[in-house]
C-alpha cells in the first residue's frame, strides 16, 4: 500500500468506499476487503451504513490502530449543536472514540463556509477526529476553508476520473498542501469500458479499471474504490505493481471533456466554474 501524506496525516492511498451500499452488502464485503488488504474505509452519515461498517470491522477483529476511518457530516447538520450530535452519532455507530478524518459532505448554500469550518474545528478540538477535511468544494471555497480553519484541511474529496478536467483544483490543492481524494473513479462504469484504457491496460496485463485507479494514484491522489462483489476486490487492490508511462498518463488526460462531470446535485453543489 502506498500512502499520501498531508499536514501530518498518513492516509492509505487506496480506500474502500461504501456509498450506495446496503447494510447487508457492507457486512458481507468488509471482511473480504480486510483480507484483501484494505485498511482505509470511507462512509458518511447520509449513506445509512455507518453502523454496518462498525459492526463488520469489529466482528472481523480489525485492530483500530491499523484502520483509517473517514466519515462526513450532512448539510442539514450545519448548526453547532446538531453538528456535534451528528459526530457523536457517527462515532457510536462506527464503534470508535474518534475517526481519523471528518469531512463536511457538501458546501450547500445555506450556511457560510467559515461557519461550517468552525464546527468542524470544534469537533477536532473535542478529540472526535484526528484530522479534518472538506468534500465537494470548489477552488474559492477550498481556499477560504484553508485560510479560515484553525487546523490544517488535509483533503478535499471530489469527483475525479479521466473524463473530468480537475486541473484547476489540483493546482489549488497543491498550493495549499491539501490532498485530493477521488470518488466516482469509475465514472459510473465508463472507465472499465473505455477502449483507450483497455488498450493501455493490455500492455501491462491490467484491466481498464486498474488503469483508471493507477492514473489517479500516480498523480499523488487518494482514490476510493468500491465494489459489492468479493471477486473484484483483488482487481481493485492490484494497482501498486505497475507504473504508467508519461505517454500513457498524457493520453489518458486527453479523455477529459466539457460535459465530463457526473455528480452535480442542485442545492448542494457549488459553482464549479468559480
Indicate if 163 belongs to the active site. Answer: no
The bridge status of strand 99-104 relative to strand 9-12 is unpaired
Active-site hit among 47, 78, 183, 184:
47
Residue 97 lies in a domain: yes
pTM of the predicted model as reported, rounded to 2 decimal places: 0.97
Contacts of 186 (CB under 8 A, 6+ apart): 161, 192, 209, 212, 226
Residue 87 lies in a domain: yes
Residue 261 lies in a domain: no
Residue 72 lies in a domain: yes
Residues annotated in a binding site for substrate: 105
Q: Tell me, what's the pLDDT at 132?
A: 98
Residue 242 lies in a domain: no
Residue 54 lies in a domain: yes
Which cell numbers hold the place of 206?
491490467
Backbone angles phi, psi at 224, to 5 degrees: -100, 115
The C-alpha angle with vertex 42 and arms to 181 and 74, in degrees rounded to 5, equals 90
User: In tens digits, what is the pLDDT along the chain, a chain of 274 residues?
Assistant: 999 999 999 999 999 999 999 999 999 999 999 999 999 999 999 999 999 999 999 999 999 999 999 999 999 999 999 999 999 999 999 999 999 999 999 999 999 999 999 999 999 999 999 999 999 999 999 999 999 999 999 999 999 999 999 999 999 999 999 999 999 999 999 999 999 999 999 999 999 999 999 999 999 999 999 999 998 999 999 999 999 999 999 999 999 999 999 999 999 999 999 9
Q: Put residue 11 in one of left, alpha, beta given phi > 0 → left and psi -120 to 50 → alpha.
A: beta
Q: Which domain holds residue 25?
A: 3-183
Residue 249 lies in a domain: no
If one counts every other C-beta atom within 10 angstroms of the C-beta of residue 7, the result is 17
CA distance 213 to 14: 9
Which cell numbers hold the place of 126?
473535542
In the chain, the number of structural domains is: 1
Residue 89 lies in a domain: yes
Q: What residues form DSSP beta bridges with 132?
A: 102, 153
15: CATH: 3.20.20.100
Residues annotated in a binding site: 105
What is the tens place of the pLDDT at every residue in 140-174?
Answer: 999 999 999 999 999 999 999 999 999 999 999 99
Report the number of secondary-structure helices (H) and strands (E) in the chain. 11, 10
Amino acid at each position: 500500500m502506498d500512502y499520501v501524506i498531508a499536514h501530518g496525516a498518513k492516509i492509505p492511498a487506496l480506500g474502500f468506499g461504501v456509498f450506495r451500499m446496503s447494510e447487508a452488502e457492507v457486512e458481507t464485503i468488509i471482511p473480504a476487503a480486510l483480507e484483501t488488504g484494505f485498511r482505509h474505509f470511507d462512509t458518511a452519515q447520509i449513506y445509512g451504513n455507518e453502523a454496518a461498517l462498525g459492526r463488520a470491522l469489529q466482528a472481523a477483529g480489525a485492530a483500530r490502530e491499523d484502520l483509517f476511518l473517514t466519515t462526513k457530516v450532512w448539510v442539514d447538520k450545519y448548526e453547532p449543536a446538531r453538528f456535534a450530535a451528528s459526530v457523536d452519532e457517527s462515532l457510536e455507530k462506527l464503534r470508535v472514540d474518534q475517526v481519523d478524518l471528518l469531512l463536511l459532505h457538501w458546501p450547500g448554500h445555506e450556511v457560510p463556509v467559515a461557519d461550517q469550518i468552525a464546527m468542524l474545528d470544534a469537533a477536532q478540538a473535542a478529540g472526535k477526529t484526528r484530522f479534518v477535511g472538506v468534500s465537494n468544494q470548489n477552488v474559492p471555497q477550498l481556499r477560504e476553508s484553508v485560510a479560515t480553519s484553525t487546523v490544517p484541511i488535509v483533503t478535499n474529496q471530489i469527483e475525479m476520473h479521466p473524463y473530468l478536467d480537475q486541473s484547476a483544483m489540483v493546482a489549488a490543492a497543491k498550493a495549499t498542501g491539501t490532498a485530493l481524494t477521488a470518488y466516482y473513479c469509475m465514472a459510473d462504469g465508463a472507465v472499465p469500458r473505455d477502449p483507450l484504457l483497455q488498450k493501455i491496460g493490455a500492455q501491462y496485463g491490467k484491466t481498464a479499471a486498474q488503469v483508471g485507479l493507477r492514473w489517479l494514484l500516480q498523480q499523488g491522489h487518494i482514490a476510493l474504490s468500491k465494489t459489492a462483489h468479493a471477486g473484484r476486490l483483488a482487481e481493485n487492490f492490484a494497482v501498486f505493481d505497475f507504473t504508467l508511462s508519461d505517454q500513457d498518463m498524457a493520453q489518458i488526460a486527453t479523455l477529459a471533456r466539457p460535459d465530463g462531470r457526473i455528480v452535480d446535485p442542485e442545492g448542494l453543489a457549488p459553482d464549479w466554474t468559480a
